[in-house]
Amino acid sequence: MAKPKSRYVCQACGSVSSRWQGQCADCAEWNTLVQETGAVSSIFAAKHNLRGGGRTIELVGLDSQVELPARFATGIAEFDRAVGGGIVPGSAMLVGGDPGIGKSTLLLQVGARLAEQGQRVVYVSGEESAEQIRLRAVRLGLGKSPVQLAAATSVRDILTTVEGEPPALLVIDSIQTMHSDLIEGAPGTVSQVRASAQELVRFAKEQGSAVVLVGHVTKDGAIAGPRVLEHMVDTVLSFEGERSHQYRILRAMKNRFGGTDEIGVFAMEEAGLSQVPDPSALFLTRRSEPVSGTSVFPALEGTRPVLVEIQALTVRLASGATPRRAAVGWDSGRLAMILAVLEARCGLSFATAEVYLNVAGGYRLSDPAADLAVAAALISALAERPVPSECVVIGEIALSGEVRPVAHAPLRLKESAKLGFETAWVPPGIKGGSGIALAEFANLKALADHILTR
């Protein structure tokens, strides 16, 4: 019998090399190549004889009648919103997030809600014992929920246990601790993660059970393991937030059964995760008097407007010192661009000042519609002239200093009016009608003059 050949697989990207090397040639990561046996058993080959003749498959037309997948709502509205309206039977979901962010707590609460509706829910942990999970459930007030618990790491044992009576929801916490005996390698390696996930996804498709896989993340925030893992599942959810902050955001990064622009907002409390139906309350600071260096921007997460406060601070330095630029919750490159436009088009000098920008509440903004709100906060901080506290600011800034229109402006303005804001500084051409007064600015210099002459 021939000796199986060895290969070296990158644990970051999954690329294969015939020999060990310090740096992966594909992803440029260091010390990520791990030796694995080259002769592996295919999961598909273990189930079917590939050497025999194939069988014909049924072909259907694109115009065939298709019914929308039936979903079952979990009863947690913020979770259902993020996944597109509820869990689809037979789907596979991957949930990633930083350690201690609340992934296991969220899925235990989701499973308990479904179990209380009469659905069979199985929660399998490869990291904790059943007693530890039970203690967490008691702390969350879910001690009497009919969720079935297990502590196991063998995929074959798990599937043998649940195949007789497939559950409505099977939670695997986490996929990096699972191992399949159809392939060689330690749990957590690229080959084991891929093989274990493939078996669990196949079970979901064949038995109609919804499978949720919890995934570890790397120091960069990406889900650990091969990138193919995200392609294998139907939905990829990212559970975001800072452990020092109360709020958590569940965001869909991929969803074959819905959109990827919805979020669910939760607050971490002593009794677990609670829903936040009005997330603007988390990110806004109510003050009796205006404060310089702040502005309010109506961000948009899917169909939900979220009002956030943008804070800026400028500190004058002695001549010759190198000023610092720091941004939290905002792209530092875009901050540098706005500072350059303010200097070139408006004549405002930030060359001798340190600039600090922060999005309150730990929120992260990537919407270019926040450009004008950032610029307003910077001008207000530099001139020490506050933006009116009852005003919201929307607009994208071009390099020419022009203020460009933004998407879904009426929806943003409607939410702002509902929360008591009276005025909006907007680009030209935006229609009102939402009960909020509009002040239009065609370019950034007009906005700067308006703030400086208040």
Task: Please indicate, yes or no, if residue 355 is contained in any of the structural domains.
Answer: yes
> Would you say 175 and 199 are in contact if contact means Cβ atoms under 8 Å apart?
no
Residues 401 and 346 in one domain: yes
List CB contacts of 444: < 8 A, sequence separation 6 or more.
Answer: 341, 342, 345, 346, 372, 375, 397, 401, 402, 403
Instruction: CATH number of the domain at 154, please.
Output: 3.40.50.300
Residues 117 and 145 in one domain: yes
pLDDT at 380: 96
Q: Domain total for the chain?
A: 3
Task: Please indicate, yes or no, if residue 192 is contained in any of the structural domains.
Answer: yes
Element (H, E) at 382: helix 371-383
Residues 300 and 264 in one domain: no
Residues 117 and 244 in one domain: yes
pLDDT at 303: 75
pLDDT at 260: 79
Give pLDDT tens digits for 207-254.
Answer: 999 999 999 887 766 776 667 788 899 999 999 887 777 788 898 989
- Chosen domain end from 225, 257, 277: 277
Residue located via tokens 């350690």: 99
pLDDT at 420: 86
* Residues of the chain where predicted confidence (pLDDT) is lower than 50: 1, 39-46, 48-50
pLDDT at 33: 84
Model-level pTM?
Answer: 0.75
Give pLDDT tens digits for 73-116.
Answer: 999 999 999 998 899 999 999 999 888 899 999 999 999 999 99
Task: Please indicate, yes or no, if residue 346 is contained in any of the structural domains.
Answer: yes
Range of the domain at 14: 6-38
Closest alpha carbon to 239 in 266, 219, 272, 209: 266
